[in-house]
Amino acid sequence: MTAIGIWMAAIGTLAIYSFLYRDNPIYRAAEQILVGLSVGYLLVITIKTTLVPKVATPILAGDIWGIAAAIWVLLMWTRILPRFGWLARLPLAVIVGAGAGLSIPAMLKARVLSQMGAMLRGQPGFDAWVGALGVISTLAYFYFTRPQKGAFKALARLGTWYLMIFFGATFGYTIMSRLSLLIGRTDFLLGTWLGLLP
Amino acid sequence: MSLATFDRRIIFGVIFLAVAAPLIVPIGLVSEVSPGTQQFYDLIEQLPEGSVIMLSFDCEASSWPEIGPVADALVRHAMRRRLKIIGTSFLSEGTALGYDLLTRLTRQTGMPYGADWIYLGFRPQYIAAMLGMGESIQTEFPEDYTGRPLDSLPLSRQVRTYADMALVVSIADDTMPQYWIEYAGGRYGVKIATGLSAVMVTTFTPYLDSRQLAAVIGGLKGAAEYERRLGIRGSGSRGMDAQSTAHLAIILLVIVGNVAYFAGRKKP
């Protein structure tokens, strides 16, 4: 990183952290710059790495499939013309249909069937029982078709305990994660910028 | 001063000091290598020399202070094992960060671009791109990140689809590994592993049991453990001193807050 880059990054970091003292125009300016830069960067990189090689180049080369795909995409924009707005449904239908066709089996396999299979195939023992009880009781908590009374209520309540343990573990990791970001920026400010670190 | 009038900026100051002090004066705390990190290390270690792995930098710049050390440690290990690396990214900001990291580290070891590593760059529609690479990487990425035709690079002539890769590693701060599991792992059978921000670890640990993920390494702690396993002291290890003292400060603040709360409640 060049000296100018280091100074800009340091000033940007301090501007964002100034919010911890109180809301101020410097913080808001830094926030707007960050959002603007992120969107601008996404736009440029999408044009450079996708629109040019995948759309512009095939069209200029006279590739019939490239031209057809570009026309198909442009149909999405007919929504702004009330008379031709219905044409936008054609590419939208393909996107929804293809998306559902691809994602439903993939998600069902990865998130449900494989996970259930792993639970059923697991080595019998304490861990397996804890896991099985967790799955059943958590599902019971989210089963709203019948009132939660008696033994079913106790099972659902056990499910809430499992959920709380999960949320607790996730929250612990979240604190660790956020502290890591602070450590990273402090390391940059004290080390790379000020040169105070050994 | 009561809890109601307590200035929270004092807490921010305490946390900053707890983070800054051990960075200036390192304590040298040792991170014991956890079984999860060892599993990841063994996975890379067992790959034959010359195997091709894909590193996907699926993260934003805002999480790089945490994810960066993880990526750094993994790339160093891959280079030490003389693995060939194909880099890509499905989040725009991760694209430049990944390229910068690979450029910097490969320059240190003299790994030539094109033969030992290539960088494919960014694609916005990640599901389509993941599926596309299962059919043909060259069709999905006709050019690399720098604009060179992919077919002109020796490594890309050797690797056409996932079938030619030993492993895909998603360096992620969000749910992108989920899509790698579903579309690259589930459909094409390539082995998936992930380096995550700590907050995502609990989401993906269950996929280890079902073997849909080959290994998971999480956050700065994971990076510190991996660095220890590699025998180096990088930014992960340096950060863990600060992480530990900051946790200690938080625990003390929680105790003080609770004591003040209950003491204040007793008053009429």
Hey, which bits of chain B come out as E strands? 52-58, 84-89, 117-122, 167-172, 192-196, 215-218
Q: Scan for tokens 């002090």, then name that residue.
A: B21
- Give dist(CA A16, CA B220) in Å, integer: 22
Contacts 24+ apart (CB under 8 A), B187-193: B187/A106, B187/B131, B187/B134, B188/B134, B188/B161, B188/B162, B188/B163, B189/B162, B190/B162, B190/B163, B190/B165, B191/B166, B191/B167, B192/B167, B192/B168, B193/B40, B193/B43, B193/B167, B193/B168, B193/B169, B193/B217
CB of A86 closer than 8 Å to CB of B159: no
- Give dist(CA B153, CA A34) in Å, integer: 36
Which residues sit opposite B187 in a β-bridge? none
Q: What is the pLDDT of residue B268?
A: 59
Q: What is the pLDDT of residue B267?
A: 61
B210: nearest CB among A102, A115, A187: A115
Give the CB-side neighbour count of residue B111, counting CA atoms within 13 A.
Answer: 25
Q: State pTM to two decimals.
A: 0.89
CB pairs < 8 Å spanning A and B: 145
Q: What is the pLDDT of residue A198?
A: 81
CB contact under 8 A, B66 and A197: no
B123: nearest CB among A50, A111, A196: A50
- Give dist(CA B171, CA B55) in Å, integer: 7
Q: Report the gap between the CA of B49 and the closest CA in chain A (Å).
A: 31
Q: Model confidence over B19-31: pLDDT tens digits? A: 999 999 998 888 8
Which residues in chain A have their CB less than 8 angstroms from residue B122's CB?
45-46, 49-50
- Give dist(CA A185, CA B61) in Å, integer: 12
Q: Report the gap between the CA of B258 and the closest CA in chain A (Å).
A: 18
Given a cut of 50, the residues of chain B with pLDDT beneath it are none
Q: Model confidence over B160-213: pLDDT tens digits? A: 999 999 999 999 999 999 999 999 999 999 999 999 999 999 899 999 989 999
Q: What is the pLDDT of residue B1?
A: 59
- Give dist(CA A42, CA B91) in Å, integer: 9
Q: Quick check: helix, strand or coil at residue A61?
A: coil
B122: nearest CB among A49, A181, A190: A49
Q: What is the pLDDT of residue A146?
A: 86
Q: Which two tokens stand for residue A49?
A: 């790495």
| C-alpha closest to that of B68 among B242, B202, B227 | B227
- Give dist(CA B203, CA B190) in Å, integer: 21
Which residues in chain B have their CB less than 8 angstroms from residue A117's CB?
210
How are strands ordered across the β-sheet holding B215-218? B117-122, B84-89, B52-58, B167-172, B192-196, B215-218
Which of A46, A178, A183, A194 has the highest number of chain B CBs within 10 A, making it the mutation to test binding with B?
A: A183
Q: What is the pLDDT of residue B265?
A: 79
Given a cut of 70, the residues of chain A with pLDDT beneath it are none
Q: Scan for tokens 């149909």, then name that residue.
A: A75
Q: Report the gap between the CA of B159 and the closest CA in chain A (Å).
A: 20
B:233-252 residues touching chain A, CB 8 A cutoff: 235, 238-239, 242-243, 246-247, 250
Which residues in chain B have their CB less than 8 angstroms from residue A187's CB?
23, 65, 235, 238-239, 242
Q: Model confidence over A78-128: pLDDT tens digits? A: 999 989 999 999 999 999 999 999 999 999 999 999 998 888 887 778 888
Which residues in chain B have their CB less than 8 angstroms from residue A198's CB?
24, 26
Q: Report the gap between the CA of A146 and the closest CA in chain B (Å).
A: 29
Sign of CA dihedral B121, B125, B127, B133: negative
Q: What is the ipTM of this complex?
A: 0.86
- Give dist(CA B19, CA B242) in Å, integer: 5
Report residue B139 CA to chain centroid gap: 28
Q: Which two tokens stand for residue A148?
A: 């939660």
CB contact under 8 A, A118 and B210: yes
